[in-house]
Structures are given as C-alpha cells and as structure tokens.
Amino acid sequence: MKVQPISGRRVRRGALPALLLGAVLTLVSGCSGDDKGGDDKAADGPSQAVVTIAPKDGATDVATSGALKVTAQQGTLTSVKVADGKGNVVDGKIAGGGASWEPTGHLGASTKYTVDAIAKDKKGRTSAKHATFTTLTPENTFVGYFTPEDGSTVGVGMPVSLNFSRGITDPKAVMRAITVTAEPAVEVKGHWFGNDRLDFRPEHYWKPGTKVTLQMNLNGVQGREGVYGTQNKTVHFTIGRSQVSTVDAATHQMSVERDGKPLKTVPISAGAPGHSTYNGQMVISEKYEVTRMDGRTVGFGGEYDIPDVPHAMRLSSSGTFLHGNYWSGESTFGSENVSHGCVGLYDERGGGDPSTPAAWFFNNSLIGDVVVVKNSKDKTIDPDNGLNGWNMPWADWVKDPA
C-alpha cells in the first residue's frame, strides 16, 4: 500500500507496526507484576499430595466389608465421597489427622460405587482422585423374618423379634446393621437367643403411644462365612394402650388392668396337676378366632384333639394359649385347674356368643398385651419360649453377644 506523508515528512515503510508492538509490550509488562511475584507463581507447581483408593479403579467382586479405604501421602484428606448409582452416600470418617478414610458400616452387595477424594499438601495445593468399583454378588444369602408387622398397633409388652433364615456366626456384624428407635426416646437393646433369633426391647414395658421404628440394613452384611444379608427394610409400629392381665392359678381368677386401673376380673381354669401352667410374664403373640388344638403337635400324643376352639391367643411357642373353653362345665372356671397347661375362659363352641368371658377378653386384647401368671406349681417360663424376654433381668439382657 501507499504511505501518506505526515507533517510534510514521509514515514518509512514498517515504522508504524514497530511503534504499535512497543506499546503492546509496554502494556504486557505493566500487567505481569514484579519479578518476585512471577517467581512465586512458577514455584507453585502441582500438589505433592498423593491420594490412593483401594480397591483399584474398575475392580469387581469386591468384599462388602474391609476392602474400601482411601489414604493420602504427603498431604491430608479434605473430602471423600462414596456413593452408589442411586446417589446414596456411604457414611465414613477421616482418621489419623487426614491420613485415611474408611466407611463406618458395610457396603451393599452387587452394587457399583463411585469414589471421589480430595487431599491437600502442606502448601494448600489440592490433588483429586476418582475411582469406581463393584461389590460381590453372593451365592448364599439370609433374611430376617420380623414381628410385629409394619403399621400395626400393639400392646406394651411387644418386643421386636427377628428370626433369621440361616444361623448367624457374626452376631456383632448383624447387630450393627439393625437399629430400633423410639419416640419418645428410650434405650432399646438387642439380645440373641441362639444364633438365629435376635429380640429388642427397652428395660421396662413400652409407654403407651410410643412410635417404634425398626431399620434393617442387612444388604451386604456377612452373617456367616460366605452368607450375606439381602434386606434393607424399615418397619414402623405404634404402642397402644397399656393392658396387663394377671392370672392367679391358686384363686382361679384373672384380673385385667387397663392403663394402670382395674378393668375386669374374669374366672379362669389353669393347668391341672402334672400339667401346670408356666409362671411369669407372657406376651400375646398370635390371635385366632377359631382353631383346632391337637395334643400331638405339642408333645401330648393323643391325649386331646379339640376342634372349634374359640378365641385362642398364643402365649408361648411351646403351645401355651389363653383360650375359650366350651367342653368343661361353666362351674369349672373360678374353681378348678383342669387344662394341659393353657389358661381357659368359659366360652361356647366356635365362639359365636360375644357375651362370654373368653369373647370379651379376646375382643379387648391386642397382640403384644401382657399376661402374667402367678402361684402356679410350674417354673417361670423361659425368656425365649415365645416373646417372653421380660422374664430375663436387664443386666443379663444387655450382655455382649460374644
């Protein structure tokens, strides 16, 4: 192009670009700061912290306990997040002043997890690590069958009882995965009966109106070698009014108290000599409007087989019931003990008459209500015979399962 003369002088070709370049260089040096600041930035460099995740990225068939750990070298962990594909976060804690992180519980089985961890070195520079892994799929599993039912209203004596489909050899691992809480709050403790049953209760009967929650986080728990739980389940139930009935085998009477006040006295017949009724605190665990009672099912051979037994309420797993009795004369009740260990109340066959003592008691009872038997010639019932853990002292109940 042609260059036009300025102020009567001709500017040499290429002079203007040189001037502009000088101005640009002047602006750049003005924004760069002094020499000292530039040296610091160059010295920053990458973080020296090294994050390690075990198991390694992409691992499969990972154990649900003991395998996951995040560590930091030449630095400290500031954040660790572990989550499954649904966004459920795994609880854990940083230990050793930021040197390591481990989960506080177990992982689920057959689950893919994502791990994101951040650490910083002594100069505050951060380093991050990302990994994924998948836990094992167990070949052998167990479940816990629970009572009471979700959404039910039960009596003040109702424990939470779990029966496992396989014998448990690591009771502590299973107990860590199960919680029972109450509102209003009260201390609730678990106790093992053998290796396949775990019951929970407070020290004293529940208070009426208490809301109880059972949480089972058993998925991935190794209950015994090679056998894993599969359940994540939440159960809610409510404690109804208080009803405690006391059977006096000597006087042949049952006094019923509702919320601490006398409600009614009912004549009864308890176990005959040689077949006396257990003493102790018993909890109603099942109710049947009509059932059949066959002595062969409870070790009495062919001594009896009675159809159409009305208003039957189970008090023990060994066969103790409180039930209606139509085959003994009405005068028996309140005067004699004639049963094979059950507590009988006068009734009619099939239970069609709602005015009988047995019908009244059945209709006014909840599963979880307490029936106390005293002055019988028998022993106190074993705590694991039915839902009858109240017969075990609290100090024994809370002993370590190991």
Among the listed residues 191, 311, 323, 340, the single catalytic one is 323
In our burial notation (b when 16+ CB lie closer than 10 A, e otherwise), range 14-29 reads eeeeeeeeeeeeeeee
Active site residue 31: no
Question: Which residues are 139's β-sheet partners?
Answer: none
pLDDT band at 402; cut points 50, 70, 90: low
Q: Which of the following CATH numbers is that of domain 50-135: 2.40.160.60, 3.40.50.300, 1.10.260.40, 2.60.40.3780?
A: 2.60.40.3780
pLDDT band at 149; cut points 50, 70, 90: very high
- Give the pLDDT score at 8: 37
Supply the pTM of this predicted model: 0.84
Residue 1: pLDDT over 60: no
Active site residue 252: no
**Lowest-confidence pick of 294-308, 319-333, 338-352:** 294-308
**Lowest-confidence pick of 104-108, 201-205, 257-261, 297-301:** 297-301
Name the 3-class secondary structure at 120: strand
- Cβ of 148: how many Cβ atoms within 10 Å? 23
- Give the pLDDT score at 304: 76
Placement of tokens 């002993």 in the chain:
399
Across the range 122-126, mean pLDDT stands at: 96
Please tell me the distance from the alpha carbon of residue 189 to that of residue 200, in angstroms, as a whole number: 5
Cα separations in angstroms, 88 against 91, 137, 178, 180, 313: 9, 19, 18, 21, 43
The per-residue pLDDT for range 37-96, each reduced to its tens digit, is 444 444 478 999 999 999 999 999 999 999 999 999 999 999 999 999 999 999 999 999
- Residue ranges of the chain that CATH labels 2.60.40.3780: 50-135
Which strands, in side-by-side order, build the sheet including 232-239? 153-154, 232-239, 211-217, 178-183
- Residue ranges of the chain that CATH labels 2.40.440.10: 243-388
Assigned CATH topology for domain 140-240: Immunoglobulin-like (2.60.40)
Provide the residue type at 359 as one letter. Answer: A
Beta carbons of 309 and 290 less than 8 angstroms apart:
yes
Beta carbons of 256 and 168 less than 8 angstroms apart:
no
- Give the pLDDT score at 276: 97
243-388 carries CATH number 2.60.40.10? no
Residues belonging to the chain? 402
pLDDT band at 29; cut points 50, 70, 90: very low
Across the range 277-287, mean pLDDT stands at: 98
Across the range 267-289, mean pLDDT stands at: 97
Residue 220: pLDDT over 50: yes
- Give the pLDDT score at 83: 98
In our burial notation (b when 16+ CB lie closer than 10 A, e otherwise), range 44-77 reads eeebebebebebeeeeeebebbebbebbbeebbb
Mean pLDDT of the chain: 90
Peptide bond before residue 208 is cis, with ω within 30 degrees of 0: no
| Selected residue with higher pLDDT from 241 and 296 | 241
Among the listed residues 106, 311, 340, 342, the single catalytic one is 342
- Give the pLDDT score at 224: 97
- Residue ranges of the chain that CATH labels 2.60.40.3710: 140-240
Please tell me the distance from the alpha carbon of residue 74 to that of residue 71, in angstroms, as a whole number: 10
% of residues, the chain, pLDDT over 70: 89
Residue 336: pLDDT over 50: yes
Please tell me the distance from the alpha carbon of residue 99 to that of residue 73, in angstroms, as a whole number: 7
